[in-house]
């Protein structure tokens, strides 16, 4: 009984200590990691502009290709080709590509007649596209993405250097009205801030297929997607997780290097997309999952213990002080990162979306245990 009283008496102190540890970890990630992106100044390597192959996989993407492909075909770059892999489309994609090929000599297409299932999801058509590429520099995007400028290829290509084999870009979402649009864009920016900051710290772990570039030899050296062919998704993040390292990876965040696409229009569709992405992340290397997991756990403990300590009226002033200091850090570091990504309109929503996304991700991770993901398209 005495031991129980002692434990109960020291419980608030223990909770406060754990809360302080979570706070310290949060500040370590903000200042030690994300600050790298916040103060990053893009540099271009003065190399010769060598040939680039833009690879796009499409399945029933007539309308997106009709809208976005001309913007990719009219880039300000001296030597490049655009290779579209038409993966068993049953719309008018084939006729659109045939017409555009007559107009643009640097457009080539490959039509896969049947939905062959050698790989799950998008990996089979993407492998065909990469292996068929004429140039060694591969630049990936999706059919529903449009480049931010006519210098997109030039900007992404400029990040390659003597030892650089992988370039991570930013695939943004279009701005529209509504809270859901802001939440999705914040989530996308948050993920980008993480993987770009880790890359700057010499610890690259993922990229996004909406805007990603690497050398063809990297694909062959890794034997393509063979190490994770049984997983439906992961043609971008799992591949980068396998091949990227401290010395061969660079990032490009010049606004002219971005791509833009439309986000999901409903909460249900966005959650389905999130489920697929989070189900892929469990296959990252342990040395990547560990720091990512520690950050998420420290965030969970921070918010949970804050609510608990305030509700118990335990050390209210020190707790509020730590919360205030973290909030200031958020607005200094994370806000500057958002400005780097040209997403400054999301800054006022920082604390609210930070907490809301934690709850969403936690719920989706739990739901993924009981449900299976669908195909890429």
Q: Which fold has domain 52-265?
A: Spore Coat Polysaccharide Biosynthesis Protein SpsA; Chain A (3.90.550)
3-state secondary structure of 172: strand
Q: How far is CA 369 from CA 232, 238, 274, in A?
A: 16, 20, 14
The pLDDT tens digits for 184-202 are: 999 999 999 999 999 999 9
Please say whether the beta carbons of 288 and 204 come within 8 A: no
3-state secondary structure of 70: helix
Average pLDDT over residues 246-253: 95
Domain extents in the chain: 52-265
Q: How far is CA 308 from CA 26, 113, 153, 227, in A?
A: 18, 59, 51, 44
pTM over 0.85: yes
Please say whether the beta carbons of 106 and 77 come within 8 A: no
Q: Residue ranges of the alpha helices (H) in the chain?
A: 2-29, 35-38, 62-73, 93-103, 123-132, 152-157, 179-200, 216-221, 237-243, 267-281, 286-311, 316-329, 335-340, 350-368
The pLDDT tens digits for 110-163 are: 999 876 655 557 888 999 999 999 999 999 999 999 999 999 999 999 999 889
Average pLDDT, the chain: 90
The pLDDT tens digits for 30-79 are: 999 999 999 998 765 556 779 999 999 999 999 999 999 999 999 999 99
**Please, what is the angle between helix 93-103 and helix 62-73, to 10°?**
20
Question: What is the rounded CA–CA span in Å between residue 98 and residue 94?
Answer: 6
């Amino acid at each position: 009984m005495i031991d129980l009283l002692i434990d109960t008496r020291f419980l608030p102190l223990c909770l406060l200590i754990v809360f302080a540890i979570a706070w310290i970890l949060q500040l370590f990630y903000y200042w030690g990691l994300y600050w790298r992106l916040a103060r990053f100044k893009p540099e271009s390597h003065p190399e010769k502009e060598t040939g680039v192959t833009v690879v796009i996989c499409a399945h029933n993407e007539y309308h997106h290709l009709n809208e976005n492909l001309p913007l990719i075909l009219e880039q300000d770059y001296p030597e490049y080709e655009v290779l579209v892999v038409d993966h068993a489309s049953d719309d008018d994609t084939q006729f659109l590509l045939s017409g555009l090929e007559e107009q643009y000599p640097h457009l080539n297409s490959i039509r896969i007649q049947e939905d062959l299932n050698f790989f799950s999801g998008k990996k089979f058509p993407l492998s065909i596209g990469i292996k068929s590429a004429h140039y060694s520099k591969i630049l990936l995007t999706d059919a529903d993405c449009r480049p931010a400028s006519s210098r997109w290829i030039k900007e992404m290509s400029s990040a390659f250097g003597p030892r650089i084999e992988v370039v991570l870009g930013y695939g943004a979402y279009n701005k529209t009205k509504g809270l859901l649009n802001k939440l999705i864009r914040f989530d996308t920016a948050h993920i980008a801030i993480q993987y770009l900051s880790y890359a700057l710290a010499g610890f690259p772990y993922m990229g996004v297929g909406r805007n990603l570039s690497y050398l063809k030899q990297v694909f062959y050296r890794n034997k393509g997607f063979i190490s994770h062919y049984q997983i439906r998704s992961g043609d971008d993040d799992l591949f980068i997780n396998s091949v990227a390292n401290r010395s061969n990876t660079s990032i490009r965040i010049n606004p002219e290097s971005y791509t833009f696409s439309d986000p999901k229009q409903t909460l249900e569709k966005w959650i389905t997309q999130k489920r697929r992405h989070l189900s892929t992340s469990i296959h990252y290397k342990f040395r990547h999952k560990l720091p990512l997991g520690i950050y998420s756990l420290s965030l969970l403990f921070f918010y949970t213990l804050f609510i608990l300590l305030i509700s118990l009226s335990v050390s209210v002033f020190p707790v509020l002080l730590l919360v205030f200091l973290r909030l200031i850090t958020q607005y200094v570091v994370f806000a500057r990162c958002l400005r780097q990504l040209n997403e400054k309109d999301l800054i006022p929503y920082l604390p609210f979306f930070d907490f809301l996304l934690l709850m969403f991700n936690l719920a989706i991770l739990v739901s993924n245990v009981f449900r299976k993901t669908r195909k890429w398209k």
